[in-house]
Amino acid sequence: MTEIPPLDQKPHPAQLWAGRFAGILFGVLFAWLLAEILLRLFFFSLPPRMQLVLNHVHKTPFTTSKLLPDPIWISDNEYLTISRAVQNHEQFGSAEVRFTVNTETLWGSRPAFRTRQELVDRYVDGVAVGDSFTFCFTNEDECWVQQFGALTDRNIINLGITSTGSVSHLRVLEGFGMPLQPPLVIWEWFGNDANEDYGLAKLRSETEVESLNPAPPIPKRSWLEKHSAFYVLLELYLGNESEFDASLQFHDPEYAEQGNVKLAFGQSYLWDAFDQSQPTNQYGWERSQAAMLTAREKVKSYGGTLLIVLMPTKEQVYREMSEPLLGADKLALLDQPYEMMLDFCETEHLTCLDLMPVFAPYVDAGEQLYYTTDMHLNARGNEVLAEALVEWTEAHPDVFAPAE
């Protein structure tokens, strides 16, 4: 007959503690797993700061795909950056900004462009060179280059490459634009072009100038940092935040609303990239000027017209919203390269289009032309730019005359 232990007999203390520890461990692991699932499910709804530090985390421990897929842009020794050839590719500018991209190589080129070989093989009315503002962080039919072509019924070729400066734009023009001898060349300039031109020279070991404030290095990440979103957030909020400087340099920390306009300002990347007191940017500015003057002469040599479009930052365009948050000194830092470019246009008699007065009426009307948490023009901003170019060409109808 089996003996039944007395009801008042208590488990051994070791068993109690083992049970409690197992329960706590199970609870912690379950909560961790739940947090990992929720952070992935709601990644695109997280605050931008969290998205930036988590975008490299893998979707699952068993795949290489990340919460924010790798961009189609890769480093290049000749152009600084080039685009890969893709079809119907969902590209992210940030977690907020996504768009579909088709790119093709031209004549078997290494870089790919947001155009098609069949368009290049036809008569070309114009080409556009520039950085990401020319590549456009929108769907193709929303990009100002394509909209300008559609509005004028002209064949305008988009040769924009993200993260490039004026030296790269000249090389793109020489390699892919000049053979087409387009009557109109639209050259988009942005305030970080001098910084990009220095970066290309440094990459190619063409300068010994050193940065006083080098860009924060991308850290080497452990397996846990690559696969655990919750662990990364623990590091961010409980550890050393400076370890995330490479990601957070593109975070806009200041946020403002005015009517229907919602914008975030002040990513730290801008302060070094635009600061003309930096020897690196001074060096890059010399190269930028030489590239634009060379481009004018090359386009002029066959009878074409070079139009330089000056792209301002959203902080400059929406100064009434940004200056109270960032301060006059920061806005002056952003204004300096823009003012230098305006002076350069006047001194060298370049044909330039200043977009500040173009955008001003739309800002006064309460329209949003830039993305909230991204530096680029949104679809409406691209539309306004395209319409401004149409107005400019209507005032200069001879620019589309066939080159001699």
What local confidence, expressed as pLDDT, does residue 358 receive?
A: 98
What local confidence, expressed as pLDDT, does residue 114 receive?
A: 97
Scored b (16 or more CB within 10 A) or e, 264-286 reads bbbbbbbbbbbbbebebbebbbe
Q: Which strands sit side by side in the sheet containing 112-113, from one edge to the other? A: 73-76, 80-83, 112-113, 104-105
What local confidence, expressed as pLDDT, does residue 3 receive?
A: 58
Largest CA distance in the chain: 113
What local confidence, expressed as pLDDT, does residue 7 receive?
A: 53
For the stretch 73-98, pLDDT in tens is 999 999 999 999 999 999 988 878 99
pTM (2 d.p.): 0.91
Dist CA 288 CA 269 (whole Å): 20
Which residue positions in the chain have pLDDT lower than 50? none
What local confidence, expressed as pLDDT, does residue 30 receive?
A: 83
Fold of 73-219+247-400: Rossmann fold (3.40.50)
What local confidence, expressed as pLDDT, does residue 1 receive?
A: 54
What local confidence, expressed as pLDDT, does residue 2 receive?
A: 56
> For the chain, what are the domain ranges?
15-43, 73-219+247-400
What local confidence, expressed as pLDDT, does residue 121 receive?
A: 95
